[in-house]
Amino acid sequence: MGNFHILEQAEAVEYARGIEGLFPAGVQLSSREIGNGNLNRVFQITDSASGRGLILKQALPYIKVIGESVPLTLDRVRIESEALRIQRELCPDLTPKVYAYEPDLALIVMEDLSDHVPMRRGLMERGRYPSFGGQIGTFLARTLLFTSDLAMDLQEKKQRVKAFINPELCNITEDLVFDAPYKKSRMNIFEPPIRDAVERIWADTELHLEVALLRESFLTKAQALLHGDLHTDNIFIKPDSMKVIDPEFAYYGPMGFDIGTVIANLLLNYSGQEGWSKDAQERDDYRRYLLDSVRELWSQFELQFRALWNGHPVDRMAKTRGYQDLYVAKLLQDTIGFAGVKMVCRVHGFIHVADIERIEDAVAREQAQRIALKIGAALIKRNRSARSIEEVLQIALDAVS
Amino acid sequence: MGNFHILEQAEAVEYARGIEGLFPAGVQLSSREIGNGNLNRVFQITDSASGRGLILKQALPYIKVIGESVPLTLDRVRIESEALRIQRELCPDLTPKVYAYEPDLALIVMEDLSDHVPMRRGLMERGRYPSFGGQIGTFLARTLLFTSDLAMDLQEKKQRVKAFINPELCNITEDLVFDAPYKKSRMNIFEPPIRDAVERIWADTELHLEVALLRESFLTKAQALLHGDLHTDNIFIKPDSMKVIDPEFAYYGPMGFDIGTVIANLLLNYSGQEGWSKDAQERDDYRRYLLDSVRELWSQFELQFRALWNGHPVDRMAKTRGYQDLYVAKLLQDTIGFAGVKMVCRVHGFIHVADIERIEDAVAREQAQRIALKIGAALIKRNRSARSIEEVLQIALDAVS
């Protein structure tokens, strides 16, 4: 990383201009910085004449937390770039095009997706995405199955585990998702009214045992190449298209972590509906839509995962009678457990979600936080006994009834 | 590996002479080649005057299988040397001293253990080793706990997983232990009289499902740094001392694999007693001793593993109430399952054990093979429901009753 320096805007524009085959010679490019600059600098660079553009994302060698800057490896850009390449090979329609990767500058240049919206914003505006279940089901089924021992050469898979060892970014998840929310910690941020609910979580040893088991799985189960951070700000969407971005947390972990993260974020929005719908009917309708999306996501995932498993020349032992059923049953349980921890950490942990945080009415916001904690804790407690996705939906219904 | 060449005996002696602080100047050294030369060249080099000696082990860049030579990575020497260093730090009394490691020559020079015997030979001569349970229990408890997330910095552990990615040697285990024995394969070698028993194993889909699950665990569960090949030829023993050698199969895998391998080898000897004892009373006595050793090994392991867990500053989440009990219960189940597959593969797989193979009487040999298959298959089938080590002993008793 000897040549690393932080790019100025003008330099970013010149870099973009130099990428072959993208812009005509002598093009007039405009540029603006987007993103919050906590981890990365992100420029959107556009040819005003044609409207064509790209995103230039440079990783910064630090992360800003609680007012201080902590060093953070630039190796995450290698990991992101390599994960994007693999995901794009497996799901060309569901991932952004990558135009350039510059390791020395920790730089990735990719497709501009500004005709899409971040799915979190879409959901906050009560958008409906009828293709989402199929799209994310495809993304999950293909990226998880085809990077696992079920469908890879076992030796190549091990080399890939090695290439995706990602200690610093996994460490962020280990601290913020699996640790801090379950104890008194300066990494927890919450409003006074929900202190009683947070303290119940700190004191709930039955819950802590399940979290310890889920964390063990996150630490040891090298099942598939995960995206690692598949929340709804990393899913860009419009009615006919969905793209998954930002796999810098990618590493070999338990498949259920990715699936559970998507479900958690749908259910966080579900919780947040407390504050977004003025009209009770509208709120209930949208909540029903969200639950249908969770059901559809899992069904589509399971359908495609099994079809790929059955239809492709996979690992001989994977054809063992009864193995697929057991595998999928355990995967659902993992998914439910990880969905639970991903909900809890977003309520009183270090990084919250706009779906709840931006509710202006304090009473509604508190209520939304309590609903999310209730669903999250119930999912965690049920993870080892859950038998169907319907249990998830029932837990969500019970939380608002 | 640019400077690699196969050492001649004279060169090996000169190399040994050059190691500082081992032999007096001008010493007269004698040398003999030991080992079968399938994977490694091994020289024992001795100062005839003092009787002091050492072992010089050079890895060969190929492995001899079924009459042909297949390339095999010399990186296994780096892995062996690094694993020996870690094991020796954790268990200085239970591992050989290493005097030199020469990566270019794929060479390790270590303590001569010829005052010990390989434990397999010891057991075949009906030796008794009353300290063995405590010794191997210590080795397992310390090497497994202290290389796991339970007691390591989580980020360092990930770097260690990376350093011990060992695809080629894991591949040998994957093929010979988890695959070939359960199908018709040229990697299976067995005598005609047991064909019916072998064919039953090839046809037993209930068994195959359990093997598929155990194999999944071997492929994905990066729990601790395993020895990876802990059979009784790799345990050197005398009444007051035990040393574990040859960790070239080391990688991050499920703890139960190492524990199960030791138990499997005790039970293979138990099966072989069919042919070694002329006297029924003597045979039964020795079998009882072997079962006591299995019980003692597990009890000592569990006792020490729990004591280390409780007594050391381990991972905060590892202190979660109920977690240790669940962890140890699952560990026993893994152990029993892996013990089963390690028995089965040694009966009709590619590499047999002398405990059974060297029985001269054909009827007794066949009987021993059947007993071993019966115990192995029963352990595999019981692995997910087993609750105590006593079940293992009962299965072994039933097999010879």
Chain B closest-CA separation from residue A194 CA (Å): 24
Q: How far is B269 from chain A (nearest CA, A)?
A: 30
The CA distance from A276 to A360, in Å, is: 9
Instruction: Note whether A170 contacts B158, CB cutoff 8 Å.
Output: yes
Token duo for residue A266: 């749908």
**What is the mean pLDDT of the segment spanning B49-59?**
91
Instruction: Yes or no: say if A241 and A94 are a contact pair by the CB < 8 Å rule.
Output: no
Task: Give the pLDDT score at B49.
Answer: 86
User: Residue by residue, what is the 3-state secondary structure of B39-93?
Assistant: CEEEEEEEECCCCCEEEEEEECCEEEECCEEEECCCHHHHHHHHHHHHHHHHCHH
User: Which of B154, B220, B316 is facing A221, going by the closest CB pair?
Assistant: B220
Intra-chain end-to-end CA distance of chain A, in Å: 55
Quick one: which of B32, B34, B31, B6 has its CA closest to B17? B31
Of A158, A209, A221, Cβ closest to residue B165: A158
What is the C-alpha to C-alpha distance for residues A190 and A168, in angstroms, rounded to an integer?
Answer: 25
Instruction: Report chain B residues whose CB lies below 8 A from the CB of A149.
Output: 216, 219-220
Is the CB of residue A153 less than 8 Å away from at least one CB of chain B?
Answer: no
Residue ranges and CATH numbers for the domains of chain B are 9-111 (3.30.200.20), 117-400 (3.90.1200.10)
Torsion sign, CA atoms B159, B161, B165, B166: positive
Which two structure tokens, joined as six digits, stand for B22?
A: 């081992």
Rg (CA), chain A: 21
Residues in chain A within 8 Å Cβ distance of B219: 149, 154, 157
Let me know how many helices (H) and strands (E) chain B has, helices first.
Answer: 14, 12
Residues 207-226 of A with CB under 8 A from B: 208-209, 211-213, 215-216, 219-223
- Taking the Cβ of residue B203 and every Cβ of chain A, the question of whether any pair is shorter than 8 Å is answered with no
Per-chain mean pLDDT for chain B: 94
- The amino acid occupying position A73 is T
| A159 contacts B174? CB cut-off 8 A | no
Residue to mutate among A145, A184, A257, A320, with most B CBs inside 10 A, is A320
Share of chain B above pLDDT 90, in %: 85
- d(Cα A93, Cα A72) in Å, to the nearest integer? 31
Q: Which of A167, A217, A220, A75 lies closest to B153 in space, CA to CA?
A: A167
Region B273-298: mean pLDDT is 93
Query: Which alpha helices (H) appear in B277-361, and where do they start and end?
Result: 280-311, 323-348, 354-357
Name the β-bridge partners of B401: none
B171 touches A: beta carbon within 8 Å: yes
Residue B150 CA to its chain's centroid (Å): 23
Helix (H), strand (E) at residue B268: helix B255-276
Q: Which pair of tokens denotes residue B328?
A: 């140890």
CB contact A328 to B (< 8 Å):
no
Which chain A residues in 257-316 lie under 8 Å from chain B, judged by CB atoms? 316
Sheet holding B107-111, edge to edge: B29-34, B40-47, B53-59, B107-111, B98-102
Q: What is the C-alpha to C-alpha distance for residues A193 and B268, in angstroms, rounded to an integer?
A: 64
Q: Do A149 and B318 touch (CB under 8 A)?
A: no
Say if residue A57 carries a ligand binding annotation. Answer: yes
State whether residue A325 sits within 8 Å of chain B by CB: no
Residue B176: list chain A partners with CB under 8 A: none
Spatial distance between the Cα atoms of A342 and A259, rounded to a whole number of angstroms: 11
Would an 8 Å CB–CB cutoff place B322 in contact with chain A?
yes
Q: Which of A149, A155, A212 sits opposite B323 (nearest CB)?
A: A212
Instruction: Give percent of chain B with pLDDT exceeding 70.
Output: 98
Report pLDDT for A115.
93
Is residue B257 very low, low, confident or very high in pLDDT (cuts 50, 70, 90)?
Answer: very high
Query: Given an 8 Å threshold on Cβ–Cβ distance, is A219 in contact with B149?
Result: yes
Element containing residue A348 per DSSP (H, E): helix A323-348
- Strand, helix or coil for residue A32: strand
Lookup: tokens for A170:
């996994």
Report CA B165 to chain centroid distance, whole Å. 18
> Looking at CA atoms only, how far is residue B381 from chain A in angstroms?
14
Question: Which pLDDT does position A276 carry in this prediction?
Answer: 81
Query: Mean pLDDT across the stretch B226-253?
Result: 97
Confidence (pLDDT) at A38: 75
Of B197, B160, B18, B8, residue with least CA distance to B83 = B160
Which of A129-138, B4-13, B140-149, B187-196 is predicted with the least confidence, judged by mean pLDDT? Answer: B4-13
Interchain CB contact of B58 with A (< 8 Å): no
CB contact under 8 A, B222 and A223: no
Q: Where are the alpha helices (DSSP H) in A113-166?
A: 119-124, 132-145, 154-163
Exposed e or buried b for every residue in B332-348, given b needs 16+ CB within 10 A? bbbbbbbbbbbbbbbbb
Any idea what the Cα angle at residue A118 is, between residues A116 and A119, rounded to 5°? 105
Residues in chain B within 8 Å Cβ distance of A174: 154
| A100 phi, psi to nearest 5 deg | -160, 150
Q: Which residues of A touch B165 (CB under 8 A)?
A: 158-159, 161-162
pLDDT of res. A22: 86
Q: Which residues contact A289 (CB under 8 A, 6 or more apart)?
A: A128
Quick one: pLDDT band at residue B67, thresholds 50, 70, 90?
low
| Nearest residue to A77 (alpha-carbon basis) of A40, A48, A51 | A40
Q: What is the pLDDT along chain A (401 residues), one digit of tens a residue?
A: 468 999 988 999 999 999 888 888 888 999 999 877 678 899 999 998 888 899 999 999 988 766 667 889 999 999 999 999 999 999 999 999 999 999 999 999 999 999 999 999 999 999 999 999 999 999 999 999 999 999 999 999 999 999 999 999 999 999 999 999 999 999 999 999 999 999 999 999 999 999 999 999 999 999 999 999 999 999 999 999 999 999 999 999 999 999 999 999 999 999 999 888 778 999 999 999 999 999 999 999 999 999 999 998 778 888 999 999 999 999 999 999 999 999 999 999 999 999 999 999 999 999 999 999 999 999 999 999 999 999 999 999 999 88
**In angstroms, rounded to a whole number, what is the distance separating the alpha carbons of residues A359 and B235?**
65
- CB of B379 closer than 8 Å to CB of B340: yes
Sign of CA pseudo-dihedral B60, B65, B66, B69? negative
* B235-238/B241-244 β-pairing: antiparallel
d(CA A128, CA A269): 13
CB atoms near residue A399 (< 10 Å): 19
Q: To probe the interface with A, which of B73, B78, B158, B166 has the most A CB atoms within 10 Å?
A: B158
| 3-class SS of residue A176 | helix
Shortest Cα distance, chain B CAs vs residue A267, angstroms: 27
Q: Do B321 and A221 touch (CB under 8 A)?
A: no
d(C-alpha B358, C-alpha B274), whole Å: 12
Any chain A CB within 8 A of the CB of B255? no
How far away is chain B from the Cα of A202, in angstroms, using its nearest Cα?
A: 12
A171 CA: distance to closest CA in chain B (Å): 7
pLDDT number for residue B66 = 60
Q: CA A345 to CA A340: how far, in whole Å?
A: 9
- From the list B155, B157, B220, which residue is nearest A223 (CB)? B220
What's residue A30's pLDDT? Answer: 92
Question: From CA A154, how far away is CA B168, in angstroms rounded?
Answer: 10
Judged against a pLDDT cut of 60, whether residue B69 lies above it is answered with yes
CA-nearest residue to A252 within chain B is B220
The alpha-carbon gap from A180 to the nearest alpha carbon of chain B, in Å, equals 11
Confidence band for B276, pLDDT divided at 50, 70 and 90: confident
- What is the mean predicted confidence (pLDDT) over B193-201? 98
From residue B128, alpha-carbon distances to B234, B272, B294 in Å are 17, 16, 13
Would you state the pLDDT for residue A65?
Answer: 62
> CB A320 to CB B212 under 8 A?
yes
Name the residue among B167, B213, B320 with its Cβ closest to that of A208: B320
Q: How far apart are the first and last CA of chain B?
A: 55
Mutation site, A177, A178, A309, A323, interface B, largest B CB count within 10 A: A323
Closest to B154 (Cβ–Cβ): which among A149, A174, A205?
A174
**CB atoms < 10 A from the CB of A197, how many?**
18
Which residues in chain A have Cβ-Cβ distances shorter than 8 Å to B221? 220-222
The backbone torsions φ and ψ at residue A382, rounded to the nearest 5 degrees and listed phi first, read -90, -5
Whether A233 has a binding-site annotation, put simply, is: no
Residue B54 has pLDDT above 70, yes or no: yes
Beta strands A107-111; B251-253: pairing state: unpaired
Closest by CA position to B38, among listed B66, B15, B13: B66
Q: Is A150 helix (H, G, I), strand (E, B) or coil?
A: coil
Chain A hits for B316, CB-CB cut-off 8 Å, are: 179, 183
* Separation CA A10–CA A28 (nearest Å): 12
Number of residues that this document lists for chain A: 401
Our CA angle for A221, B247, B165, nearest 5°, is 35
- 3 state SS of B149: coil
The residue type found at B293 is S
Residues of A in contact with B326 (CB under 8 A): 209, 213
Cβ atoms of A45 and A14 within 8 Å: the answer is no
A320:B149 CB<8 A = no
Please tell me the predicted confidence (pLDDT) of residue A2: 66
Cβ contact, residue pair B154, A219, below 8 Å: yes
With beta carbons less than 8 A apart as the criterion, state whether A232 and A206 touch. Answer: no
Contact between B158 and A149 using a beta-carbon 8 Å cutoff: no
**Which two structure tokens, joined as six digits, stand for A195?**
């202190």
